[in-house]
Chains A and B, each alone.
Chain A
Amino acid sequence: MPAPAAAPSPVEAAPPSAESMRDRFVRVASDLLDSDERTAVVLAVITAAAFEDAARRHPHRVIDVGIREQLLVGAGAGLALAGMRPIVHTFASFLVERPFEQLKLDFQHQGVGGVLVSANASYDWPQGGFTHMSPGDVALLDTLDGWNVHVPGHPEEAEALLRRAVAGEGREYVRLSEQANRAPLPVADGRLLTLREGGPDAPVVIAVGPMLDPTAAAVAELHATLLYAATVRPFDAAGLRAAVGPRATADVVLVEPYLAGTSTARVAEALHDVPHRVLALGVPRAELRRYGTRQEHDRAHGLDAAGLRQRIGAFTPGARG
């Protein structure tokens, strides 16, 4: 039997006309290298080929350290110690999970800032299997202090959030995905966006990043308030409280593209004095141990529109229109 063709990378697998968030990241980061002398891009082979032009223009500010992720993060933090604004990039599993202590000590404990940009987060490349999945990245960062977490749902949003992150001084995590919504939203202020008001008794549904399109389809027939978050840390507690308004009790549905329940505690903190129920939807802990396509994984996790509709409907039977 002939060997199968090499599996396409997620970028190559995207429709040729569509610019992925990762493509946009390369374009925006290259532009920032041109315009802001304190920026540096640190890579560990992943995506390095796409930065070749920028590296030729800025040989001292585009650094590929090789397949060395502890060094990737440590050197990124060292650049920050020297007064630079590092943009550190690789797949989420090798950016957050493998060098986790470097995030904790080399950035946070040193008291320096930087911008982490991941790709291939939850199951962008199902054919790659669990070694290349990192549904727990946001939950891991939640154990640390002062990391802002951005989960854009569209390349336009990725650009806006990335530019804002690089312009600041803080510790930022920008989680890029191959999955995107059809249209971008104005997300640069980091607040929850209210897309639909569902009335005083309606459940409040929060869709995060690329979960918006399937969530919007799932609740189209429900009386529900629909909120959209592309920045999840800091969590916009005031925005959620405003959406809950004067309700005596609240039903909240979280739809997150990473580990289910990651933001449940933030909802509880925001609504600490409001009796409420939470349905937290996202990627389950259990390994699926399947390859295939993103769409098949959406379905298996109940994160496609049909799965979301069924589970949200069961949670809020009174909301049916």
Chain B
Amino acid sequence: MTVTAHDPSPTPPNGTPAAPFGYDDLPALTARMTGADKHTPSSDSLTDALWVLYDQVLRVDPARPDAEDRDRFLLSRGHGPMSYYAVLAAKGFIDPGVLDGFGTFDSPLGHHPDRTLVPGVEISSGSLGHGLPLGVGTALGLRARGLHAPRVWVMVGDAELDEGSNHEALEFAGAYGLDSLHLVVVDNASTTWGDSRSRAERIAAAGWSLAEADGRDHADLRRACALPHPGRPHAVVARVEPKHPR
């Protein structure tokens, strides 16, 4: 472990109105979407990390989804986005009514998200391995513009780290000390040819601050996300139940 803890409290979201829905409403919101059954289990693996980020970590405001000083959340693993849409609906970014049309011709909500169609969605994703390089560039761009408050969060799945583009970004961001960049790896042990231990070690070896958390435990996730990491990007490995029980 390469983190030091002295102030575990995240900055509270500013200006975010009271959420119209709570965590307990997510199953009902998710159930309004049908058609991506293939991705349902992996979608569920993200639910708790997504909820904790939107509820307690990200400084985003559904009334100002394009605010310059917002935190940027880039869902890189865009497969199975139902829980993402459910959280966006719960937090007021999208009308829960649009969930019913999920995947249909006239719906903004596809089986992979499109940033040009959905308020609050920072990147269009689906092809794995694009979010972290985009996150690196976003963090660099915010820094170049003198916007030092916004933080960039990228969420990937552990198997997504099989894509080499992530390792280009991990190495660069660690060595560059891109400390506004954050990565959540939702680890359901679905990688092929590799294991999550070696993955975590590689992230730390690239110069990142690294925390591990129970991906179902909201307090633990919040703690791991809030750890200070001066001068370094920060990664949280959120472990959930294996995709293929052994």
Interface residues of A (CB under 8 A from B): 37-38, 40, 42, 60-61, 63, 65-66, 68, 70-71, 73-84, 86, 101-102, 105-106, 109-111
Q: Mark B67-90, 1 if CB is under 8 A from A, else 0.
A: 010001000000000000000000
Q: Tell me whether A78 and B168 are in contact (CB under 8 A).
A: no
Q: Which residues of chain A come closer than 8 Å to B142, judged between CB atoms?
A: 82
In the complex, which residue of chain A has the Cβ closest to the Cβ of B144? A60
Closest B residue to A78 by CB, please name it. Answer: B137
Interface string of B50-68 (1 = CB under 8 A from A): 0000000000000000001
On whether the beta carbons of B130 and A105 are closer than 8 Å, the reply is yes
Find out whether the CB atom of A78 lies under 8 angstroms from the CB atom of B133. yes
Complex Cα–Cα for A81 and B134 (A):
8
Q: Point out the residues of chain B lying under 8 angstroms from A79, CB to CB.
A: 137-138, 140-141, 144
Asked if B172 and A66 make an inter-chain contact with CB atoms under 8 angstroms apart, the answer reads yes
Q: How far is the CA of A66 from the CA of B140 in the complex (A)?
A: 15
CB neighbours of B165 from chain A (8 A): 70-71, 74, 102
Among candidates A37, A60, A101, A105, residue contacting B143 with C-beta atoms closer than 8 Å: A60
Residues of A within 8 A of B172 (CB): 65-66, 68, 71, 75
Q: CA of A214 to CA of B109 in the docked complex: distance in angstroms? A: 54
**Total CB contacts across the A-B interface at under 8 A:** 109
- Given contact pairs A66-B172, A71-B168, A71-B172, A78 touches B134 in the complex (Cβ within 8 A): yes
Quote the shortest CB–CB distance from A46 to chain B (angstroms): 15
Contacts of A78 in B (CB 8 A): 133-141
Q: How far is the CA of A76 from the CA of B141 in the complex (A)?
A: 9
Contact between chains at B127 and A105 (CB < 8 Å): yes
- CB pair A84–B144 under 8 Å, yes or no, is yes
Q: Which of B129, B137, B141 has the most CB of A within 10 A?
A: B137
Q: When chains A and B are docked, how far (Å) is the Cα of A68 from the Cα of B140?
A: 16
Beyond A79-B138, A81-B122, list 11 extra A-B contacts (CB 8 Å). A40-B141, A66-B171, A74-B132, A78-B134, A79-B141, A82-B138, A82-B142, A84-B145, A101-B127, A105-B127, A106-B133
Nearest-CB residue, chain A, relative to B124: A109
Task: Report the Cα distance A106→B133, complex, angstroms.
Answer: 9
User: Which residues on B sit within 8 Å (CB–CB) of A109?
Assistant: 124
Given the complex, which residues of A lie within 8 Å of B68, measured CB to CB?
83
CB distance from A134 to the nearest CB of B (A): 20
Residue of A nearest to B142 (CB): A82
Q: What is the CA–CA distance of A60 and B72 in the complex, to the nearest angstrom?
A: 19
**Chain B neighbourhood of A73, CB < 8 A:** 133
Which B139-169 residues have C-beta < 8 A from chain A? 139-145, 147, 164-165, 168-169
Measured in the bound complex, the distance between the Cα atoms of B169 and A105 in whole Å is 17
Chain A hits for B130, CB < 8 A: 74, 102, 105-106
A-B contact pairs, 15 of them (CB 8 A): A37-B145, A38-B145, A40-B140, A40-B141, A65-B168, A70-B133, A70-B168, A75-B137, A78-B138, A81-B138, A82-B141, A82-B142, A82-B147, A105-B130, A110-B123
- Tell me the B residues contacting A by CB distance below 8 Å: 68, 72, 115-116, 122-124, 127, 129-130, 132-145, 147, 164-165, 168-169, 171-172
* Chain B residues, Cβ within 8 Å of A84: 141, 144-145
In the bound assembly, the distance between CA atoms of A15 and B169 in angstroms comes to 39
B144/A110 in contact, CB under 8 A: no
Q: A60–B176 Cα gap in the complex (Å)?
A: 11
Shortest Cβ distance from residue B34 to the other chain A in the assembled complex, whole angstroms: 25
Whether B133 pairs with A102 at a CB distance below 8 angstroms is: yes
Shortest Cβ-Cβ A-B pairs, 9 listed: A78-B137, A74-B133, A82-B141, A75-B137, A68-B168, A71-B168, A79-B141, A70-B165, A78-B138
Task: Kindly list chain A residues whose C-beta atoms are within 8 Å of the C-beta of B143.
Answer: 60
In the docked arrangement, what's the CA distance between A77 and B124, Å?
12
- Shortest distance in angstroms between B109's beta carbon and chain A's nearest beta carbon? 16
Q: How far is the CA of A65 from the CA of B178 in the complex (A)?
A: 12
Q: Which of B68, B129, B134, B140 has the most CB of A within 10 A?
A: B134
* CB–CB B145/A81 < 8 A: no
Q: How far is the CB of A115 from chain B (nearest CB, A)?
A: 14
Q: Once the chains bind, are B164 and A77 in contact (CB under 8 Å)?
A: no
Interchain CB contact (< 8 A) of A110 among B115, B132, B136, B145: B115
Distance in angstroms between the alpha carbons of A77 and B123 in the assembled complex:
11
Complex CA gap A109/B78 in Å reads 14
Distance, CA A68 to CA B144, complexed state (A): 21
The residues of B that contact A83 with a CB separation of less than 8 Å are 68, 141, 145
A82 to B135, CA, bound (A): 10
Docked pose: A109 CA to B134 CA in angstroms: 12
Q: Which residues of A contact B135 (CB under 8 A)?
A: 78
Which residues from A are CB-within-8-Å of B137?
42, 74-82, 86
Contact present for B141 and A110 (CB under 8 Å) = no
Name which residue of chain B comes closest to A40, CB basis.
B144
Cβ of A38: which chain B residues have Cβ within 8 Å of it?
A: 145
